[in-house]
Every structure is written in structure tokens, then in C-alpha cells.
């Protein structure tokens, strides 16, 4: 093969390679243009669709909630408005173990009375007036480490503690059968009479406004108490028992409309629940301050005076003495009738014996 032939073949080979590269490059450019055109078309459709949706659904801002929300009334304070007595930081008595003696006092358990042995059973309602001389310890206002010594303060402190903390439950005055418990807030409203309007004056004494505040509680205004008790003659022990069932403070109630409801019990407490608390409070003794009995001893020993205002004896209509025919409007006759009931019970016990 000559030199000329080799050169011709090389040129032909280079020409073929160049033609092949040009065809491949043309195909690549065609595909690129196709993909670019397709991408631009897709992008244009997407933008058009987006603007169309935006035009159909305009940008609506959420409407603020303009509903008026009424705030609930503030809850009534679950506390009784009574002054709290501070504890003494030093021993306030020269007697040794005086405070320990008070804290450790517990009442003796009651003797069990069976219904089969009750030969006589009547119920009495008494009213104790602390203005009487024998009942003046009910109003003794001194403060000691165990609290204020007024009888009403002892009741309110026991209700303030609640049954879960060594206190008691107060019951509504809708009846005297202990059917409806009361909260501390309800007791506070009952003893204070609710809210009162107080005038606000300027520097010249002119009334410019009024404000509503809770009425102050004057503990000295509670000087009457109602006692419900049961009188039972037990033939097994041949003895007459007086068992107190409940105690209630009494006040004269006048409604906001001016209606005088008269003497009304504010709430009831169950006496057997109060016995452990009464055992830890001493009764004032004006003759010998060191020889004081507990309130539990006072009630069990009947060292108080109460006039009978109602009984189950000869009372088929279950009326108070002040509502009975012939006694209504005559306080003196009501007092005589109460003494008559007391004598009938005494005579029943005495007539069982022969001397």
C-alpha cells in the first residue's frame, strides 16, 4: 500500500468521525429545545392556575371573634369572717402541763341506750339566753391559745376547721333534723347577713357613690342559742337521761324588704360531733379561775338554764309554744307552759318510786 493510499484513508476516517459528531450534536440540541419548551409550557400553566385560584379565592382575613364573654362572678370566700387568735410564744400560765391537759381531754363515751329499754321518750327544744346570770359564761370574751372563749366562737372555729381537720359540719336551718349540710361560705353569709351598701362621701360630706362590702360580724350579738334534746327513761338502769342532739345560734332576722321573721336559728351543729371539741374548752368560773369545768361537762351536768319553747308532749300539731292557741302573744303564759312541761317530766320520774 502506497503512501498516497494511507493518507486518503485517514482523511476519509476523519470525515466520517466529523459527520457523526455533527449528527449527535444536532440531536442533542433538538432534545434540549424540546425539554426547554415543555418546561416553559408547564411552568406557564402552573402560574396561570395559581393566579386563577387566587382570583377565585380572594385573601379573606379571619374575622375576629367579637362575641361578648361574660366573666363568671367571683366565688364566695370559703371562710368564716371571725378574728383569728395568735398563739402565745411563751407559757402564759405558771401551772405545769396546762396546755397539754387541755389538748388531751376527751369526753367519756355515752352509756348505750336500747330502744327496748326506753320506757319514756320525749323531745324538748330549749332556748338559752346568755344575758341570764347563770348563762353568762356563754359570753366570756377572753382569748386563749385555743381561740376566743365565746361560745359562738367555739362553734364557728369548729365549722371553720371542717370535719376533715377535727371540726364539724354545719347544717341548714330549713329543719332541725340535720338534713342539708352547709359550706363555710354559706355559714359566713348567714351570720353576716350578706353584703351591705356603704355610702362614699367627699370632703364636704356629700354622698358621691356607694360600694358593696361584707357586713361585719359582731360576736357579742349572738347571745341566744337553741338546744334540741331527748329525754329518755331507761328501765334497765332506772334512770332519766338527757341527751342533747343539736345546738343552733338564734338571731332576730329582718329581710331586705323589711319583713321581721322573728327569732330564727342560723344553722345547726350536731352535738355528739361537738363533744370532743367542747372537752378542750374550759368554762369561765368567776369564783375560782383554776377550778373550771369544760363545756362538755357543763352540758352533761345541766349547768345552764334554758326555757322550753317546744316539746313533743301533748303537741299533736308539732307547734312551738308561741304558736299554740291560747299562748300566742302571751310570753308569760308561754313561760308557765314550759315550766309545766318540765314539772310533768320530773313528776314522771318521781312517781316511779315509792318512799
Q: What is the pLDDT of residues 322-350, one digit of tens each?
A: 999 999 999 999 999 999 999 999 999 99
pLDDT value at position 204? 79
- On whether the CB atoms of residues 266 and 251 are closer than 8 A, the answer is yes
Helix (H) or strand (E) holding 122: strand 118-129
Give start and end residues of each alpha helix (H) in 139-215. Answer: 151-161, 184-192
CA 258, 266, 214: angle at the middle one, nearest 5?
A: 65
Average pLDDT, the chain: 82
Q: Residue 54 above 70 pLDDT?
A: no
137 secondary structure, DSSP code: G
Pick from 150-159, 168-177, 252-261: least confident:
252-261
Query: What's the farthest any 2 CA atoms get from each other in the chain?
Result: 177
Global pTM? 0.74
More confident residue, 324 or 61: 324
Q: Which value, in Å, is the radius of gyration of the alpha carbons in the chain?
A: 46
Grid-cell match 361584707, residue found: 214
Q: Which of 295, 305, 239, 270 is nearest to 107 (CA)?
A: 295
CA 137 – CA 278 distance, rounded (Å): 14
- On whether the CB atoms of residues 248 and 155 are closer than 8 A, the answer is no
The pLDDT tens digits of the residues spanning 106-133 come to 999 999 999 999 999 999 999 999 999 9
C-alpha 121: how far from its chain's center?
36
What are the cell numbers at 347?
Answer: 313528776
CA 200 – CA 207 distance, rounded (Å): 6
Grid-cell match 493518507, residue found: 7
pLDDT value at position 51? 47
The pLDDT tens digits of the residues spanning 269-301 come to 999 999 999 999 999 998 998 888 999 999 999
Domain boundaries, the chain: 98-183+223-305
The pLDDT tens digits of the residues spanning 89-98 come to 888 888 877 6
What are the cell numbers at 138?
Answer: 356563754
Helix (H) or strand (E) holding 335: helix 331-350
Amino acid at each position: 500500500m502506497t503512501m498516497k493510499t494511507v493518507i486518503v484513508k485517514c482523511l476519509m476516517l476523519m470525515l466520517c468521525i466529523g459527520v457523526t459528531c455533527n449528527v449527535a450534536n444536532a440531536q442533542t440540541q433538538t432534545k434540549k429545545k424540546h425539554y426547554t419548551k415543555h418546561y416553559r409550557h408547564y411552568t406557564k400553566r402552573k402560574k396561570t392556575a395559581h393566579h386563577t385560584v387566587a382570583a377565585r379565592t380572594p385573601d379573606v382575613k379571619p374575622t375576629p371573634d367579637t362575641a361578648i364573654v361574660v366573666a363568671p362572678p367571683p366565688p364566695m370566700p370559703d371562710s368564716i369572717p371571725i378574728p383569728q387568735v395568735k398563739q402565745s410564744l411563751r407559757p402564759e400560765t405558771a401551772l405545769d402541763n396546762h396546755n397539754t391537759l387541755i389538748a388531751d381531754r376527751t369526753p367519756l363515751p355515752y352509756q348505750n341506750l336500747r330502744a327496748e329499754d326506753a320506757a319514756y321518750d320525749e323531745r324538748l327544744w330549749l332556748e338559752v339566753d346568755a344575758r341570764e346570770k347563770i348563762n353568762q359564761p356563754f359570753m366570756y370574751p377572753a382569748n386563749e391559745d385555743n381561740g376566743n372563749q365565746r361560745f359562738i366562737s367555739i362553734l364557728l372555729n369548729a365549722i371553720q376547721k371542717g370535719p376533715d381537720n377535727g371540726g364539724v359540719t354545719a347544717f341548714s336551718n330549713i329543719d332541725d333534723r340535720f338534713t342539708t349540710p352547709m359550706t363555710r361560705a354559706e355559714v359566713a353569709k348567714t351570720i353576716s347577713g350578706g353584703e351591705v351598701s356603704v355610702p362614699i362621701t367627699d370632703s364636704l360630706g356629700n354622698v358621691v357613690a356607694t360600694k358593696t362590702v361584707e357586713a361585719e360580724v359582731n360576736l357579742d350579738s349572738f347571745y341566744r342559742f337553741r338546744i334540741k334534746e331527748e329525754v329518755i327513761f331507761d328501765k334497765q338502769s332506772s334512770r332519766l337521761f338527757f341527751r342533747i342532739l343539736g345546738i343552733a345560734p338564734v338571731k332576730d332576722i329582718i329581710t331586705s324588704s323589711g319583713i321581721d321573721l322573728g327569732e330564727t336559728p342560723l344553722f345547726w351543729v350536731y352535738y355528739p360531733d361537738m363533744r370532743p371539741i367542747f372537752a378542750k374548752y374550759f368554762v369561765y368560773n368567776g369564783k375560782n379561775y383554776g377550778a373550771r369545768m369544760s363545756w362538755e361537762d357543763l352540758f352533761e351536768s345541766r349547768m345552764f338554764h334554758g326555757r322550753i319553747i317546744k316539746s313533743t308532749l301533748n303537741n299533736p300539731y308539732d307547734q312551738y309554744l308561741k304558736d299554740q292557741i291560747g299562748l300566742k302573744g302571751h310570753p308569760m303564759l308561754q313561760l308557765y307552759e314550759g315550766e309545766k312541761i318540765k314539772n310533768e317530766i320530773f313528776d314522771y320520774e318521781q312517781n316511779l318510786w315509792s318512799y
